[in-house]
Amino acid sequence: MSKILYACSRNSGFSADTKEKLNDICNQLVPDNIDAPKPHVVRVEDDLAYAVCMDSGALQESRMSLLLGFLYEKNKVSWDKPRTCYPDGNYALFRVDEAELEVVSDCVGTRTVWYYHDEEIFVASTSQRAIIMFLGTFEFDERVIPWMLSTGSLGPQFSWDKRIKRLSVDSSLSLDKKSWLVSITQAPIDFSVVDRETEDHKKLLADSIGQAAESLERIDFERWVLPLSGGYDSRGILLFIKKTIGAPDNLKAITWGLEKSQYENDNDAYVAKELARSVGVQHKYYYTDISPEPLEVIFDRFLFCSEGRVDHIAGYMDGMDIWKQLHDEGVNGVIRGDEGFGELPSSSELNVRNLAGCGLCSDYKNLSQVINEFGFPPQEMPVELRQKEGEAFYAWRDRLHQEYRIPTILAALSDIKYSYLEQVNPLLSRSVLDAVRSFPDDLRTDKYLLKNLVESMEPRVPFALKSANANPKDILREKECVDLMKSEITSNYSAELFSSGFVNRIISEIKVGKDESRRQSIKGLVISFLPTSIKNRLRDTVARRSVDGNVLAFRVFMIIKMHKMLTSDAYRVVRSQQYLVDEARAATS
């Protein structure tokens, strides 16, 4: 699993019960379907304390400094001293000396770090829930509501608690222990085209991916697996592993999706199996068909593991059974294919934001007036995420993917996996992304150069055309799901958060049964053959989209359930500690 909490006290050392408190927080982060969790790591030393929940072997410790994640450096680097080396890798880094504590995020924030700072305590963690449990209080931040409605995420800046902040990508936070002041520096994401021949760009990309793949030789493939789809990214990792270190006999590829998907020739599931067979590695297919457990249990577990950061429920309707199985089989981690090679063609600011999953309420027909009508906090793009003066349009498009989508959406999806095991993303190494940032627009658009590179490699197994997972809108239109969402949205608890007018609006847009409007019409068929640029222009100027009513209801459902969970978390450890005290007193009486 490996979620971490790191704390520093200003004026005094931590008390004797801090270790017990941290252990209890770790226990509260273990999913309910894990029977035998891996051991936690807890350290307390004077004014410093940290806890790592279910260490899966990705933890490096040096005194009270620690690195959680994986490095792609060829040679051993000294990472444990503040303000020294900022290594290439996927990690959260905490390092300390007598004068300062430094917290470092990697180059695209693959592992989100949250932090809290007041006059007495500094706490940083990869889990918002852990910070709230440590503090023993929760202060809901209403600014997340518009972002959750329009994007199904917490947005680019906010957390569930108004006091907790997110460390930006490629950033260093320094806490001066004497002055107790925090300072943050961030390396800018800069797309600056270098003049090379196309073949030289291609060679640079191949070399950088090869370097990252070669570093995976340090991984114990008995305990790590490669999720394999029918697309380009995971295939690229597999083929570069084969090219650089050979396909290890114990390398295992896995794919997941609906049971029926594995028999469809152009499906992710079918293609991945054929690719694994052609390369000569083991392959296993896991079903994500809906779990027989009560739907509320499935949803609650999804929110527990994701901490409500993202609404992508479709791939987790098995009740996290895939991840439980992998944990129980002794798997320590997965080698993921998240990437930043370049987005689809774009024709407008609106289209760029939609591609990144960064739509505003004002972009959608059924949300355009919701902020003013129901008194929600204002919503706007942060200045640093807007197109800069002199910045090329497609450079901004791809910067937004790396500076917003990866740390906000993809990192949130990673949080789900971190509840069970570890994860590395070799295509998000600094060397790979530095190469991509030097390519011209045409070689980045729609991952052109990456696709060209992977297509040139053996074996030439066809690529998939269909996903192996269910359509999320179909899931949310099932009657059982609709009833559950309506019950929560119209509850007394909901009334403390939302007005009756807003609740009625959300309820009125919910539908039961499959979406008949998705059937292909003549008009839809014609539009599907139009160039992407024309389709984008039509969406921008003629057919402004709406958020599906059931998707919107699920997002409101998430807000209510997370408010409940975090309110409970704030008192959970306090209650647990009191229980232990009472037990100890009873034992001595």
Cα gap 20→303, rounded to integer Å: 26
Query: For residue 459, is the peptide bond before it cis, meaning its omega torsion is within 30 degrees of 0?
Result: yes
For β-strands 282-287 and 252-257, DSSP reports them as parallel
Structure tokens, 161: 């608690």
Tens of pLDDT, residue by residue over 344-378, are 999 999 999 999 999 999 999 999 999 999 999 99
Query: pLDDT tier at 581 (50, 70, 90 boundaries)?
Result: very low
Across the range 488-502, mean pLDDT stands at: 98
How many other C-beta atoms are found inside a 10 Å radius of the C-beta of residue 510? 19
Read off φ and ψ for residue 282, nearest 5 degrees: -65, 155
Kindly report the number of other CB atoms within 10 A of residue 483's CB atom.
12
What is the spatial distance between Cα 515 and Cα 340, in angstroms, rounded to a whole number?
32
pLDDT of residue 356: 96
Question: What's the CA gap between 326 and 165, in Å, rounded?
Answer: 32
At residue 564, the pLDDT reads: 98
pLDDT at 265: 84
Q: Give the three-state DSSP class for 126.
A: coil
Check residue 515 and give its pLDDT. 64
Closest CA to 429 of 402, 460, 404, 405: 402
Q: What is the pLDDT of residues 149-164, one digit of tens each?
A: 999 999 999 999 999 9
Mean pLDDT of the chain: 92
Which of the four pLDDT bands, split at 50, 70 and 90, describes residue 435?
very high
Q: Summarize pLDDT for 322-348 with one digit per residue, the tens.
A: 999 999 999 999 999 999 999 999 999
List own/partner pairs for 456-462 with CB under 8 A and 24 or more apart.
Answer: 457/239, 457/243, 458/239, 459/275, 459/278, 459/279, 461/271, 461/274, 461/275, 461/278, 462/266, 462/271
Q: Which pLDDT tens digit goes with each residue over 214-255?
A: 999 999 999 999 999 999 999 999 999 999 999 888 999 999
Structure confidence at residue 287 as a pLDDT band (50, 70, 90)? confident
Is residue 588 pLDDT above 80, yes or no?
no
Residue 577 confidence (pLDDT):
55
User: Among candidates 588, 284, 213, 216, which has minimal Cα distance to 431?
Assistant: 213
* Distance between start and end Cα atoms, the chain: 39
**Domains of the chain and any CATH numbers:** 1-346+383-468 (3.40.50.620)
- Give the 3-state secondary structure of 190-232: CCCCCCCCHHHHHHHHHHHHHHHHHHHHHCCCCCEEEECCCCC
Question: Beta strand pairing status for 224-227 and 65-71?
Answer: unpaired
**Residue 311 scores a pLDDT above 60:** yes
Burial of 346 (0-12, 13-18, 19+ CB in 10 A): buried
What is the identity of the amino acid at 168? S
Question: By the 8 A CB rule, do 509 and 556 touch?
Answer: no
Q: What is the mean pLDDT of residues 68-92?
A: 95
Share of the chain above pLDDT 90, in %: 83
pLDDT digits (tens, 9 = 90+) for 520-544: 445 555 555 566 666 655 555 556 8
Report how far residue 422's alpha carbon sits from residue 331's, in angstroms, rounded to the nearest whole number. 9
- What is each CA distance from 567 to 211, 259, 401, 509, 561, in whole angstroms? 45, 38, 33, 29, 10
Sheet strands side by side (includes 48-53): 41-45, 48-53, 3-9, 121-125, 114-117, 165-166
Report the pLDDT value the prediction gives residue 538, as an integer from 0 to 100: 57
Number of H helices, E strands in the chain: 22, 17
Q: What is the pLDDT of residues 145-199, one digit of tens each?
A: 999 999 999 999 999 999 999 999 999 999 999 999 999 999 999 999 999 999 9
CA–CA gap between residue 296 and residue 79 (Å, rounded): 44
- What is the percent of the chain where pLDDT is above 70? 92
Nearest to 235 by CA among 463, 569, 545: 463
What gap in Å lies between CA 558 and CA 505, rounded to an integer? 17
Angstrom distance (rounded) from CA 182 to CA 102: 10
Distance CA 520, CA 433 (A): 39
